[in-house]
Amino acid sequence: EALNTVILGISRDGVKTHCGFIEQENLNFILLSDKEKVYHEAFQVLKPKKMYGKDVIGVIRSTFIFNEMGDLVHELRAVKAEQDPYEVLALIEKM
């Protein structure tokens, strides 16, 4: 709030799964369900991966930062959950 920022998360999981995850992780932001993969495809985050030796289509964890006008101003791909918040915060503070 101090940086006039709204955080949204999007995954292919359903709302019921999100509710449990939000509670388990004590999240303070909204998670949106994109089971139809509309936003995943629009932001091109679905990529072929190997999982347990099998070819699958997986999500490349990414962060997109928009300005107050709704323009995409930063795009971070293949982010690590441990490092991404710090990088995102630094970018938002510069806006």
The pLDDT tens digits of the residues spanning 42-77 come to 999 999 999 899 999 999 999 999 999 999 999 999
Q: State the pLDDT at residue 82.
A: 87
Closest CA to 37 of 14, 7, 11: 11
Average pLDDT of the chain, as a whole number: 93
Instruction: Count the neighbouring beta carbons within 10 Å of the beta carbon of residue 10.
Output: 19
What is the pLDDT confidence band of residue 37, given thresholds at 50, 70 and 90? very high
Closest CA to 24 of 34, 40, 35, 13: 13
What is the pLDDT confidence band of residue 81, given thresholds at 50, 70 and 90? confident
Paired tokens of 22: 């939000």
Residue 32 has phi, psi (to 5 degrees) of -100, 145
